[in-house]
Amino acid sequence: MAPALRHKDRQEPLRNYCKGLLLDGERKSVEPMAARLAPDQVQRMHESLHHLVAQSPWSDADVLRRVRERVLAAMQRHSPVEAWIVDETGWAKQGTHSVGVAQQYCGRLKRKANCQVSVSLSVATASASLPIAWRLYLPEEWARDRARRKAAGIPSTVEFESKPRIALEAIRRAVEQEVPRGVVLADEVYGSNREFREAVAGLNLRYSVAVRRVTTAWTREREPLPPKEWTGKGQRPNRPRRDATHQPLKVEQLALALPARAWRGVSWREGSRGALRSRFAAIRVRPAYGDDRGAGQQPEQWLLMEWPKTEQTPASYWLSNLPGNTSLRRLVEITKQRWRIERDYEELKQEVGLSHYEGRNWRGFHHHATLCIAAYGFLVEERSLFSPSAQAGHVRIRTPGIPAGFQRRGAPDPRATA
């Protein structure tokens, strides 16, 4: 990664910072890392690490690109890229001065809280995943506040953008950089956004994204009425009479109207307690956007629905532009790969200290996240040395032979030890 920092003096602090992130320790902020790395010169180490992360003007995008190129090559030795996963993560913060902190929904806490939220894009194979883009979500109140922007060092080019817009920028950059393509997966914050789905499809990408239960769609049996026609110049349009039965339905209504035989049990992966299994159904629909304008021209796509036996009503819904001949099992397997991002977030926060940064400015926040992703990428690359099917205790690694004369006379033969 060192060449991406474009300055020789930054190489040693880079090495120390990444080492600090990988060492044991409850906190991975600058001060405790400095104490672990150089207990006899804590102040000097603290200044070096702080300058690298909070002040040095190196490019996060360049470093992440180098990490991606190296780690993705290792990941693809076992299986190709299958998915691009869009998601967000947040962590609670005290006070009001840390960049982007506001009262907003925090997924980890499952409620609104004073927190920071970031949007990420990850690439995933069948056995591994890695974040390749990371961006802080800047609430509108921050984007408008000049004083807070200046204090936090927010670049003048950064304006308020919705989370789907931030995610789309990351996806476009990945396409431009020719990252191996996968099916775009996202939760309903992104999937329920019409512009997001259309933009992803416009990039010739497949998607399978969650939508809210109130999302409406046309089925083949309930195609939209023909467009209005003008009866003549200056005359009012002759709109066909519509009745209550000719309307798009909410996806929840479509799910409840399906016969029992439409729901099939599908297993999609092995969990810690055995195979993960639930009931699913899928039908072909055309999304509706509040009225029937252009609905007849909307491409047909899959509506995937999940209804666990333990639930009184269907639990989840997804829209997908995967091919019409895609099997139900394949739809489920691809769609359910979003779980990998939760594992990424958990390990980034718990193992390499993603949420431990205590600085307040824009540059430091993103530099720290970039170096955390680099450290995590190292762990992903190390795991990729082994086959995904290898189990602990069954990895075939040759052990070095016992040197001649090493065994003490009368001692048991160490080669006989299990």
**Average pLDDT score, the chain:** 87
Beta bridge partners of residue 274, listed in sequence order = 271
Are 309 and 266 contacting, i.e. CB atoms less than 8 angstroms apart?
no
Same domain, residue pair 90 and 53: no
d(CA 234, CA 232): 6
Q: What is the DSSP letter of 85?
A: E
Same domain, residue pair 212 and 171: no
Beta bridge partners of residue 217, listed in sequence order = 249, 287
Q: Which domain holds residue 33?
A: 1-58
Last residue of a domain, one of 14, 36, 58: 58
CA 75 to chain centre: 17
Last residue of a domain, one of 13, 43, 58: 58
> What confidence score (pLDDT) does residue 3 get?
86
Same domain, residue pair 153 and 86: yes
pLDDT (tens digit, 9 = 90+) per residue, 370-414? 999 999 999 999 998 887 665 444 444 455 566 665 555 555 555
Split into its structural domains, the chain has a count of 3
Same domain, residue pair 215 and 273: yes
State mean pLDDT over 76-104. Answer: 92
> What confidence score (pLDDT) does residue 404 get?
61
pLDDT (tens digit, 9 = 90+) per residue, 322-342? 999 999 999 999 999 998 888
Q: For tokens 């609670």, what's the residue?
A: 92
Same domain, residue pair 289 and 316: yes
Asked if residue 141 is part of any domain, the answer here is: yes
Q: What is the pTM of this model?
A: 0.85
Same domain, residue pair 29 and 85: no
